[in-house]
């Protein structure tokens, strides 16, 4: 078992009323799964992903990640946990515009205290694997959306995470680019990486092994 959510609640207080963002979420994720989270806008998909990614807190319930009780961990400990095991991919790529492709890939490694030679090797490996060696000195704005997302995925993968969290990774891409990215996810999944993606598209969801539907913060069948 990679992670387990038990009775997760998250809410905000708005105008004297309690507005639930997540309501009684129970979810088990095994290693090697490829899960798609679906639902209309505002149903809590991204919130769920952020909670799983430990970027956001929840108000009630229990969360175990690799048998560590996340809800009891201190901020710093939690950060170490996601730093080591989780990679993120975003809808709008979130590459740093001031860094080149190569430097963007290197950035997470800096925070994980890899040595210079190791970093260079890992970056070179990744560039090679994604076939973007020729683009290594370009800045994100010089790339197409699909290429940027490719870099985004490469960056998420570079430190060998167990889990990739992707928030509408193809939301800003055209259909050809989408297919390329989804194909890549499929391949990564077959190599053993666990993936949880948020998506609107049935077509993309079909790449996954399981679909979770959310409505108003609640999981429905």
Partner 1 sequence: MLRNYFKIAWRNLLKNRLSSFINIVGLTIGISACMVILIFVRYESTFDGHHSNADQTYRVVQHNTLPDQMVYWNTTAYPLAEALRNDFPEIDVVTQISGPVSRVFKVEDNFGNVKRFEESQVLFVDAYYPKTFNIQWLAGDSNSALSGINSVVLTAELAKKFFGLEKENYNSIIGQTIFLQNKDALTVTGVVANPPGNSDHQYSMLIPYKFFKINNEYFSMNWSGNYQGTTFVVLRNAKIRETLEKKITGWKKKYLNPQDDKRISYALQPLKEIHDETLYGSSPGGYIMPANILNTALIVALFILLIAIINFVNLLTAQSNSRSKEVGIRKVMGGGRFNLIVQFIFENSLVIIGILALSVFVVRILLNFLNTNLSVIDVQLELGWSHLGILLLIGGLTLVLAAVYPALVVSAFKPIQALKNNIRFSGTNRFNLRKSLVTFQFAIVQLFIIAAIVLAMQMSHFREMDLGFSSDAVVITETPEFEKLEVYRERLLGDMGINKVAFGSGPPMAVDGFQLGTTYRLPEQPQEKSLEAEMKIADIHYLDFYDMELVAGRNFLGNKEAFDEFIVNETLLKPFGWNAEEAIGKRIQINEGQATIVGVVKDFNNNSLQNEISPCILLNWTYYQSNAFIKISDANHLSLGVIKNIWEQTFSNSIYDYHFLEDSIEKEYMVENLVFTGFGIFSILAISIGCLGLFGLMSFMISKKAKEIGIRKVLGATLFENLSLFTKEYIGLVSLAFLIAAPLVYYFMNQWLEGFTYRIELSFWMFLSGGFVTLIIAILTCSFQSIKAALANPIYALREE
Judged by CB under 8 A, how many residues of this single chain contact partner 1? Answer: 26
Choose the binding region for partner 1 from 22-30, 110-118, 142-150, 199-207 (rule: CB under 8 A).
Answer: 110-118
Closest distance of CB 87 from partner 1, Å: 9
d(CA 24, CA 182): 30
Does the footprint of partner 1 cover residue 191 (CB under 8 A)? no
Nearer to partner 1, 97 or 191 (CB): 97
User: Is residue 216 near partner 1 by the rule CB under 8 A?
Assistant: no
* Strand 210-215 versus strand 34-38 pairing type: parallel
Contacts 24+ apart (CB under 8 A), 38-43: 38/198, 38/199, 38/200, 38/202, 38/205, 38/211, 38/212, 38/213, 38/214, 39/213, 39/214, 39/215, 40/215, 43/214, 43/215, 43/216, 43/217
Q: Which two tokens stand for residue 148?
A: 């940027």
| 12 forms part of the interface with partner 1 (CB under 8 A) | no
Q: Which residues pair with 69 in a beta bridge?
A: 64
Among 155, 166, 198, 208, binds partner 1 (CB under 8 A): 155
Nearer to partner 1 (CB atom), residue 98 or residue 191: 98
* Only segment of 16-24, 74-82, 125-133, 192-200 that touches partner 1 (CB under 8 A): 74-82
- 136 binds partner 1 per the rule CB under 8 A: no
Q: Does 63 bind partner 1 (CB under 8 A)?
A: no
Q: How many helices (H) and strands (E) does the chain have?
A: 7, 10
Answer for the pair 198, 171: CB distance below 8 angstroms, yes or no. Answer: no
Q: Answer for the pair 134, 143: CB distance below 8 angstroms, yes or no.
A: no
Binding of partner 1 at residue 68 (CB under 8 A)? no
Looking at beta carbons only, is 107 or 213 nearer to partner 1? 107
Region near partner 1 per CB under 8 A, out of 59-67, 109-117, 127-135, 193-201: 109-117
Count Cα neighbours of 47 within 13 Å in the Cβ-side half-sphere: 25
Nearer to partner 1, 159 or 215 (CB): 159
Binding site for partner 1 (CB under 8 A): 50, 53, 55-56, 76, 79, 82-83, 88, 90, 92, 94-99, 103, 106-108, 110-112, 155, 159
């Amino acid at each position: 078992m990679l992670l387990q959510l038990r009775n997760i609640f998250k809410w905000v207080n708005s105008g004297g009323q309690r507005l639930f963002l997540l309501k009684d979420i129970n979810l088990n994720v095994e290693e090697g799964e490829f899960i798609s989270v679906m639902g209309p806008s505002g149903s809590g998909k991204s919130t769920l992903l952020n909670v799983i990614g430990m970027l956001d807190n929840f108000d009630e319930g229990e969360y175990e990640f690799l048998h560590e009780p996340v809800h009891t961990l201190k901020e710093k400990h939690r950060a170490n946990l996601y730093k080591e095991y989780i990679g993120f991919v975003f809808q709008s790529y979130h590459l740093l515009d001031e860094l080149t492709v190569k430097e963007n890939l290197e950035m997470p490694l800096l925070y994980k205290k890899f040595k210079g030679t190791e970093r260079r090797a890992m970056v070179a490996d990744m560039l090679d694997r994604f076939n973007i060696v020729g683009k290594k000195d370009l800045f994100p704005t010089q790339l197409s959306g699909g290429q940027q997302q490719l870099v985004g995925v490469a960056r998420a993968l570079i430190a060998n995470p167990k889990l990739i969290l992707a928030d509408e990774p193809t939301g800003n891409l055209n259909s050809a680019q989408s297919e390329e990215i989804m194909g890549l996810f499929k391949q990564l999944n077959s190599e053993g990486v666990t993936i949880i993606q948020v998506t609107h598209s049935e077509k993309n969801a079909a790449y996954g092994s399981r679909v979770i539907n959310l409505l108003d913060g609640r999981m429905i069948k």
